[in-house]
Amino acid sequence: MTTTRWLAEYAWLPERAAPTPEVLIETVNGRITAVTPLSPGGPPDAGVDVLADAVRLPGVTLPGLANTHSHAFHRALRGHTHGGRGDFWSWRDQMYAVTAHLNPDSYLALARAVYAEMALAGITCVGEFHYLHHGAGGTPYDDPNAMSAALVEAAAHAGIRLTLLDTCYLTATVDGQPLTGSQLRFGDGDALRWADRVSAFTPDGRHARLGAAIHSVRAVPAEQLATVAGWAHRRDAPLHVHLSEQPAENDACRAVHGRTPTGLLADHGVLGPATTAVHATHPTSGDVGLLGESRTGVCLCPTTERDLADGIGPARRMADAGIPLSLGSDSHAVIDPFEEARAVELDERLRTRKRGHFAPAELLHAASAAGHAALGWTDAGRIAVGGRADLVTVRLDSVRTAGVAPAGLWFAAGAADVTQVVVDGRVLVRDGHHLTVDVPQELADAMAEVTGG
């Protein structure tokens, strides 16, 4: 039995508007067994130094943060595409080009480094929206799930949990044009063959679990949406889908189906509490109502949405409709959950020209508990008895955070201010350094192999 006692200078506890000072957190075998806010006068029993063996955590300690939406291989594009002109569609061609250089070995190396970068940023769990399934020309590997296995192994090496959202990707357009070129690597032919392949895969290790994804209404024909949704529902697995990321997607769906993408998904049983719509940047008022009524979640990816000039979604309106909001770094133009969280508020200010839409505690919830729940890890994302012992400590003495009120860290701190990360009770990051992965060197090596640089 492994028991550890942590003394947090400040800890952000559930349902609190701001961090609580001086909190003793006790963990056994990766679970939180006690959370004790200490009185201002000192330990509960002044005659015994009950804190002598406690590991002190200076700064603000948060629950583990969740990256609800990731495409690990997109990290290879950072710094190579962001200065160009165009829009999402022109960027997408550059993204497809990267896939030509990926195989199970090179993807393992890249994803390991990317997931370790996430750990440095305080991310203890990631949802990998995975559609790069097959070899060149769409030829399956000897193990049809070799790329999935590489991602599961990468997360194990990096030390974080993974929900592998195996993605069904069958067509190139809403009207059913076939996959061509690089897209051939994504397809399984039809949803039944997708389901057969996914059903044959069991993630290795307790750190990983399997979910499903519908890439978009562009990529899965309407008559096959229910097959994917049914697979997820029968297994009580998370189901994710890109939704209304681009106005062109909405226009094409209306032209072909006479419905918005949200309406089409509702017609085929895709929406519901286990489903997360990614982006939802351009929903109609009716769409927001459908998502709220069905308790479908929405994952916002602000740094990607602004990088690709996608637009600003109606975050506050969606939250007010009862839609759980979570956060993702998507294309990894930035891996910084603090930047994603504050962008939810700051983008809403740009959209409305008013301030004060999301309280800091709401941003924390989106970055932690809501994201974990969207990925199927409902026992994570809160510093509470019975929860997973995931602790992320953020310093309050950097040039960014010095003098900042503890609750204000969401508007001041960045990934570089994370000093320690504990995942399931095990220290993974200490003094801002990953304990098992040389993250900068491995990122450089992996990107050089993938980009030819």
Which two tokens mark 7? 């003394």
* Active-site residue (options: 69, 71, 279, 372): 279
Identify whether 417 is a catalytic site residue.
no
* Active-site residue (options: 166, 307, 310, 330): 330
Q: What is the pLDDT along the chain (453 residues), one digit of tens a residue?
A: 778 999 999 999 999 999 999 999 999 999 999 999 996 655 555 444 667 889 999 999 999 999 999 999 989 887 666 556 656 656 666 777 777 889 999 999 999 999 999 999 999 999 999 999 999 999 999 999 999 999 999 999 999 999 999 999 999 999 999 999 989 999 999 999 999 999 999 999 999 999 999 999 999 999 999 999 999 999 999 999 999 999 999 999 999 999 999 999 999 999 999 999 999 999 999 999 999 999 999 999 999 999 888 999 999 999 999 999 999 999 999 999 999 999 999 999 999 999 999 999 999 999 999 999 999 999 999 999 999 999 999 999 999 999 999 999 999 999 999 999 999 999 999 999 999 999 999 999 998 888 766
pTM of the model: 0.96
